[in-house]
Chain A
């Protein structure tokens, strides 16, 4: 099984925050994880590299937790692939 987007997001956050991935769940918020705005910017940078996408400033500012990230990455990857069918 290839790693899912959720699994990759959790891996990236865990690595950027130097925390065990087991502590990060699909519903975790940045607040719960003790991630401040500067940590958030580091995580956005790591996500851009992981998924090779550009996360716009407005989208980066609106991230509140793991759910927002997975949703946003899904959207960016879909846009990158272009219209299907």
Chain B
């Protein structure tokens, strides 16, 4: 018996580029970057980020719900609500038992933690707010989603730095494909804009002093983003039976470890992760037409990722369009893979490839077709979405255009 095919039937996005999927996709296909001045955190060597502007939790939650949820968990729930609504799910008791929620988060409830620690160390308060533990735990978003919809299937959170959401989507995909779940809500969320966390990124000296220019010769580093994206995954047969809109298929997933360096990427590891995703989905390498790159815009990542693509695809690499949408929505850390999966699925669904924004100058070290600055129409059969985390933990997703 051939394995079940898995469909993406719902997408929700909440990030600096757009507070829902439609606005997000409009921004990305217009090549519009959401990167701007970081507000409210004092002096930093990197002045810009992709922050969600004008966020008011009480537009989305009751006061009491907001009390219990750090912004990173709020974002997860907002994206899940949109994805579930888009999927048009009719919940039954049985479906609720067979649906799981799998989320990624790199840093958990940093905002809550930062405020609490400031109260303790700086303001010398002796009492801690009782909600700090439930607000900061990395699974807070997943738990909130299970409670909102009454979902009792296998649910958990994966933390693998910048690959967290891709690992989560891959795991959810496998659980649905093998029949352990009949539906999954999977993705990632992150709210990393806090004073201490920004200073920690500053200290690592990987942040761009201007903007994020992936694959461009004048790139100077990464730009932090925030937000969430969630996908609804279900067996293709079930989606067809209930007449759901299928945005794309999730065809394969690959994971591996570089076992190389805590921050430096590896050509071999990245190439192997992509190769594993192709093998897992039975995807012919020459059918891949688009790659949503990890593309952080750091001097180290982009040439390594370019070489990995060349190593794996050989001459076909010249026929693959590659873009980094981090140039627009920033690096969402534990949400990155989910936001980029939403972009990749939307590209297959609409036949428009999002560009690499802020691109100025070709770099011979990154000699790929990087879709500079302007979106492009292209009907693509298969697309990859790459995540290569600090610590060398890689996860790659292979999506397929849905041909009814």
Q: Which residues of A contact B (CB under 8 A)?
A: 17-18, 38, 41-42, 44-45, 48-49
Contact = CB atoms under 8 A, between A and B. Distances in A.
Nearest to A19: B64
- Looking at B62, B67, B130, B134, the one whose CB has the most chain A CB atoms below 10 A away is B130
Contacts of B62: 18
B127 interface: yes
Contacts of A42: 67, 130-131
A45 B127 CA distance: 8
Given A17-B64, A18-B62, A18-B63, A48 B127 contact: yes
B64 A49 contact: no
A18 B58 CA distance: 12
B127 A41 contact: no
A41 B130 contact: yes
B64 A18 contact: yes
B129 interface: yes
A49 B129 CA distance: 10
A18 B62 CA distance: 9
B65 to A, nearest CB: 10
Interface of B: 62-64, 67, 127, 129-131, 134
A49 B125 CA distance: 10
A5 B62 CA distance: 28
B127 A49 contact: yes
A49 B131 CA distance: 15
Contacts of A48: 127
Nearest to B63: A18
Contacts of A17: 64
B258 to A, nearest CB: 42
B356 to A, nearest CB: 45
A55 to B, nearest CB: 10
A45 B64 contact: no
B8 to A, nearest CB: 35
Nearest to A44: B130
A45 B134 CA distance: 15
A49 B126 CA distance: 10
Contacts of B63: 18
Nearest to B65: A18
Nearest to A49: B127
B84 to A, nearest CB: 26
Contacts of B130: 38, 41-42, 44-45
A18 B63 CA distance: 7
A44 B63 CA distance: 18
Nearest 5 A/B pairs, CB to CB: A18-B63, A41-B130, A45-B130, A18-B64, A42-B130
B366 to A, nearest CB: 51
Contacts of A38: 130, 134
Nearest to B66: A18
- Looking at A42, A44, A49, the one whose CB has the most chain B CB atoms below 10 A away is A42
B145 to A, nearest CB: 19
A38 B134 CA distance: 10
A17 B67 CA distance: 10
A48 B130 CA distance: 12
Contacts of B64: 17-18
Contacts of B129: 45
Nearest to B130: A41
A68 B63 CA distance: 26
B137 to A, nearest CB: 14
Contacts of A44: 130
A49 B64 CA distance: 19
A36 B131 CA distance: 14
A17 to B, nearest CB: 7
B134 to A, nearest CB: 8
A38 B129 CA distance: 12
A38 B64 CA distance: 12
A32 to B, nearest CB: 17
Contacts of A18: 62-64, 67
A27 B134 CA distance: 31
Nearest to A17: B64
Nearest to A40: B130
A41 B67 CA distance: 13
A36 B134 CA distance: 15
A46 to B, nearest CB: 9
17 contacts: A17-B64, A18-B62, A18-B63, A18-B64, A18-B67, A38-B130, A38-B134, A41-B130, A42-B67, A42-B130, A42-B131, A44-B130, A45-B127, A45-B129, A45-B130, A48-B127, A49-B127
